[in-house]
Structure 1
Amino acid sequence: MKENEQTRSHILDSAIHSFADSGYQATSMSKIAKKAGVSKSLIFWYFESKSKLFESLVDRFVAQCAISFVRLDAKTKSLEKMHEIIDMYWAFVKNNMEFIRIFMNWFLQAETKEKRKTERLRKIHRSFEEIFVQCLQLGIEEGIFDENLNIQNTALSIVSSLEGLLVQVIMLGQSPEDFDETFFKNLKQSIVHGIMKR
C-alpha cells in the first residue's frame, strides 16, 4: 500500500472510532485529527469536509460488504447459497452494528445534500440486490427455483425484508442478539418456500 493510501486509510480508521464514540454530529475534524495523530489540514486535504470523509467511510463499508459476499464459493448450489447469503448478511450486520447506527444517524441529518445521501443508500441496496439476482438466476438454471419468478422483483422483495428487519433493530433500539437462531431459520424457510419450483 502506498504512503498516501496508508495515511488515508489510517484517517478513516480513526474517524470510525471517533464517530462511534461521539456520533456524527458531535464528532469534529479536530477530534478525528487528534485521534489519528495528524493535522486537521491534512484531513481536509484528503477529504475536503466531514461529510466527504463520512461518505468515504460509507464507500469503504459498501466495498467490505461486497467483498464478504464475493467470497461465496462459486460451486455452491443456489439453495445453499441463498441460506449462506442471509446468514452472511446478518453476521455482517452484527459485526458492523455500530457503524450502521452511525450511518443511519448521518443519513437523517440535514447537513449533506439529500441527493448524495440517497445515492449512497441506493448503492448499498443495489449491491445487495444484485447478489440475490445472481443467486435466483442460478437457482432457475439449476431447476430449483420457479422459472416464472420475476427475478428483479423477487430480489427486491428479499432485500426489503432483510432491510426492514434491520430498520426495526435500529429504530426500536433492539440488538441483533434479540433474534435467535429459530427466528432466522424460519425467515430463511419463508423466503425459500416462496421461490421454489412447484
Structure 2
Amino acid sequence: MDHVATRRAAKAETIVLACLRCIARDGYAATSMASIAREAGIDKRLVAYYHGSREHLLDRVVRHVADQLITKLRQAIAGIDDPHEIARIGFNRIWESLTTDRALLVAWLGIKAEAISNPELQEGARYLNDGFRDVIREAWATIESRGFRARMSMERMTLMIVASIQGLVMEWLAYGDTPELAETLVDFQTWIASFAQPAAESPISP
C-alpha cells in the first residue's frame, strides 16, 4: 500500500471510530454526518467523500464492532479445550475483555436494536451474529475431539449462549457490577459447563 492509500485508509478509520463514539454517546438516531464530522474534527464533506452515505458508514461501523468483539471472543478461549475451563476461565476472560470497552458494547447493542427495523443494517448485524456462532462452533469442535458431546443441538446451544451474553451485557450497562449480577455470572458459567457430557452418555435432545 502506497503512502497516499495508507493515509486514506487511516482517515477512513478515524471517521469510523468517531462514528462509533457518537453512537455510544448519543445513540443511533442522533448520530448524523455533521455530528460525526465534529467528533472526527473534519469537514462534513470529507465524511461523505470517504464513506459515501450515512448508511454505508454505519455498515462499516457495524463490521468494525463485529470484528472487535469476535477477536475478543477468540482470544479469550484460545488454547482451552476443556468445556469446564472454557466456562470458567474462558468466560471470565470474555467478560473482563468486554466490560473494559463500554463504548463498544453500547454501540453493539444500539446497532442491533436499530437493525430490527432498518434493513440497511441487518446484513451487518447478521455478520456479527454469524461471527459469534462460528467461534462457538469452532470451540465446540475442539471440545468434541476431547470425547464430549453437546446435550442439545448446536444451533440451540449457540442461540442460548449468544442471547444470554447479550442480556448479561445489557444488565451490566444498566446497573454496573452488582452482587446479583456477580452471582448470575457464576450460575451462567455452571450452566454453560452443563452443556457438555461424555460422548458415551444419552443422545442429543431434539
TM-score bracket for the superposition, by shorter chain length: 0.7 to 0.9
Matched-pair identity in %: 19
TM-score normalised by L of structure 2:
0.76
CA gap 1:166/1:72 in 2 versus in 1, 3 angstroms? closer
CA contact (8 A) 1:78 1:136 kept: no
1:154-182 CA distance string (max 9 Å, x none): 22332232233335556xx333x135543
Is 1:146 matched with 2:128? no
1:107 and 1:193 map into 2 onto residues whose CA distance is 29
Q: In the TM superposition, what is the alpha-carbon distance from 1:83 to its structure 2 partner?
A: 3.3
CA gap 1:58/1:115 in 2 versus in 1, 3 angstroms? same
2:106 and 2:76 map into 1 onto residues whose CA distance is 26
Instruction: Give the unaligned 5+ runs of structure 2.
Output: 202-206
Q: Give the alignment partner of residue 157 of structure 1, picking from 140, 155, 160.
A: 160
Count of aligned pairs? 193
CA gap 1:51/1:149 in 2 versus in 1, 3 angstroms? same
1:96-153 CA distance string (max 9 Å, x none): 333433443344448x97333222222212211221212222112101x236753333
CA gap 1:49/1:92 in 2 versus in 1, 3 angstroms? farther
Q: How does 1:44-193 map to 2 (within 5 A)?
A: 44-72=48-76, 74-79=78-83, 80-109=85-114, 114-143=118-147, 145-146=148-149, 149-168=152-171, 173-175=174-176, 177-178=177-178, 180-193=181-194
CA contact (8 A) 1:65 1:92 kept: no
Instruction: Give the unaligned 5+ runs of structure 1.
Output: none
Matched residue type, 2:62: V
Name the Cα RMSD after superposition: 2.9
* Greater Cα shift, 8-17 or 59-68: 8-17
CA contact (8 A) 2:87 2:190 kept: no
SS at match of 1:24: coil
